[in-house]
A and B are shown apart, each in its own frame.
Chain A
């Protein structure tokens, strides 16, 4: 009985620590540290409520012209902009981006950054985006593969290719 209790304690203890999210166990996302004063409401509250705040305040700004809002993407970046190892700001294309770290973990894709910039004003994003763009497909594998295939056919006519196969056998 004591052993079972011990195991249960361990299991729930770990789960409890895991929920905290900052136990360094590797099971939870490694949330980048922010600069500036911590939110008085606490991190747990913000994790739960930031979508509501952003939605509410975006409508206030967009529709009613209220620009002194509490929650705006722009003000998030004041403390939550993350830099990668190279010292560049992590755009939303970069997995180290503050938003991405948790959103990737919970498999939620946000579309904010289809229109909004994902770094503070003044940062040149084009260079950072190019850095994370996957390299172009090698010739013959990408959208040009039909042309490459037809070129191959022209170089090696079908008849001789067939002959080669027969000789091989």
Chain B
């Protein structure tokens, strides 16, 4: 490779300086002793936009009465966005999001709704994970860190919503933003790559495009967000509310 080694900058210094400039954060440093430094990062609002923000909790509100039983736009959008599909093996296929039909035996009322990772406040999958691969980001999104997932599938057993699936076979053509490989567990990421870059999840976008607008995405911690106003004003439930997991995904008119 062509590279002039004579004009190498001081590498360590250059790197850390670039890192700091890139993060755009104001840095206060306190030297405790030679070689020991405390750094405090104060952030601008613009800085916070690029990172998981502890001041937010991302969630979904699904209006079941608006969900069309014949529509699976959210599922298709998720498959396209994240690069998973039905391989013809229902027992082992990935299911990041699925359409579920519920029927009330007493009244006969039948409803259809999407079910995906519920992004619990107290996620059982995180409790049982032996390696720390299953984790919750500060903004409430529950993820699998596939770098340290050993594929033990405890989380799949712990999840009351059957939201997680195991990858049984080798894959190619993954999306660069949604890596997935044999031997690890995966689930809905609430399109974290989109959220981090200021976009809404693919399922929400697709549902909006159909005109049904059954799924609303927003920050549950912001009292002025549409989702917060709705959950404050109208009745909505958490699936398996008896488990007291406080999911970030809630359902209304169920």
Q: How far is the CB of A57 from chain B (nearest CB, A)?
A: 10
Interface centre among B19, B143, B173 (most CB of A within 10 A): B173
Give the nearest-CB partner of A45 in chain B.
B11
Q: A70-B19, A117-B176, A121-B176 are in contact. Are A64 and B147 (CB under 8 A)?
A: no
Instruction: Verify B3–A42 contact, CB threshold 8 A.
Output: yes
Can you list, as one digit per residue, whether each of A57-72 has a CB less than 8 Å from chain B (1) or not (0)?
0100011111111100
- On chain B, the residues within 8 Å of A34 by CB distance are 1
- On chain B, the residues within 8 Å of A40 by CB distance are 8-9, 14
Instruction: Verify A117–B173 contact, CB threshold 8 A.
Output: yes
Contact residue among B11, B51, B139, B175 (Cβ-Cβ distance under 8 Å from A41)? B11
Instruction: Verify B183–A114 contact, CB threshold 8 A.
Output: yes
Find residues 58-116 in chain A having any chain B CB closer than 8 Å to their own CB. 58, 62-70, 73-74, 91, 114-116
Q: How far is the CB of A35 from chain B (nearest CB, A)?
A: 10
Contact residue among B135, B172, B192, B193 (Cβ-Cβ distance under 8 Å from A125)? B172
Instruction: Verify A116–B176 contact, CB threshold 8 A.
Output: yes
Instruction: Verify A62–B196 contact, CB threshold 8 A.
Output: no
- On chain B, the residues within 8 Å of A91 by CB distance are 172
Q: How far is the CB of B153 from chain A (nearest CB, A)?
A: 17
Secondary structure of the B side of the interface?
Answer: loop
B180 within 8 A of partner (CB): yes
Give the nearest-CB partner of B18 in chain A.
A70
Contact residue among B51, B138, B176, B182 (Cβ-Cβ distance under 8 Å from A114)? B182
Instruction: Verify A117–B179 contact, CB threshold 8 A.
Output: yes
* A40 CA to B18 CA, complexed, in Å: 12
* A34 CA to B2 CA, complexed, in Å: 8
Instruction: Verify A65–B52 contact, CB threshold 8 A.
Output: yes
Contact residue among A64, A115, A124 (Cβ-Cβ distance under 8 Å from B180)? A115
Instruction: Verify A64–B15 contact, CB threshold 8 A.
Output: no
* A43 CA to B51 CA, complexed, in Å: 30
Q: A43-B1, A62-B147 are in contact. Are A115 and B172 (CB under 8 A)?
A: no
Count of residues in B whose CB is under 8 Å from the partner chain = 42
* A116 CA to B177 CA, complexed, in Å: 9
Q: A41-B15, A70-B19 are in contact. Are A64 and B8 (CB under 8 A)?
A: no
* A22 CA to B138 CA, complexed, in Å: 47
B181 within 8 A of partner (CB): yes
CB within 8 Å: A-B pair count = 95
* A117 CA to B83 CA, complexed, in Å: 11
Secondary structure of the A side of the interface?
Answer: loop
- On chain A, the residues within 8 Å of B18 by CB distance are 70
Instruction: Verify A115–B11 contact, CB threshold 8 A.
Output: no
Instruction: Verify A66–B51 contact, CB threshold 8 A.
Output: yes
Instruction: Verify A58–B172 contact, CB threshold 8 A.
Output: no
B4 within 8 A of partner (CB): yes
Instruction: Verify B184–A115 contact, CB threshold 8 A.
Output: yes
- On chain B, the residues within 8 Å of A45 by CB distance are 8, 11
- On chain A, the residues within 8 Å of B135 by CB distance are 63
A44 within 8 A of partner (CB): yes
B5 within 8 A of partner (CB): yes
Give the nearest-CB partner of A67 in chain B.
B196
Interface centre among A44, A68, A91 (most CB of B within 10 A): A68
Instruction: Verify A38–B173 contact, CB threshold 8 A.
Output: no
Residues of A within 8 A of B (CB): 22, 31, 33-34, 38-45, 49, 58, 62-70, 73-74, 91, 114-117, 120-121, 124-126, 129
Closest 10 CB pairs of A and B: A115-B181, A65-B52, A38-B3, A115-B179, A114-B181, A125-B172, A116-B179, A65-B196, A42-B8, A74-B176
15 residue pairs A–B, Cβ–Cβ below 8 Å: A33-B1, A41-B9, A44-B5, A62-B147, A63-B135, A63-B145, A65-B52, A66-B50, A67-B50, A67-B193, A67-B196, A115-B180, A117-B175, A121-B176, A125-B172
Residues of B within 8 A of A (CB): 1-5, 8-9, 11, 14-15, 18-19, 22-23, 50-52, 135, 137-139, 143, 145-147, 170, 172-176, 179-184, 192-193, 195-197
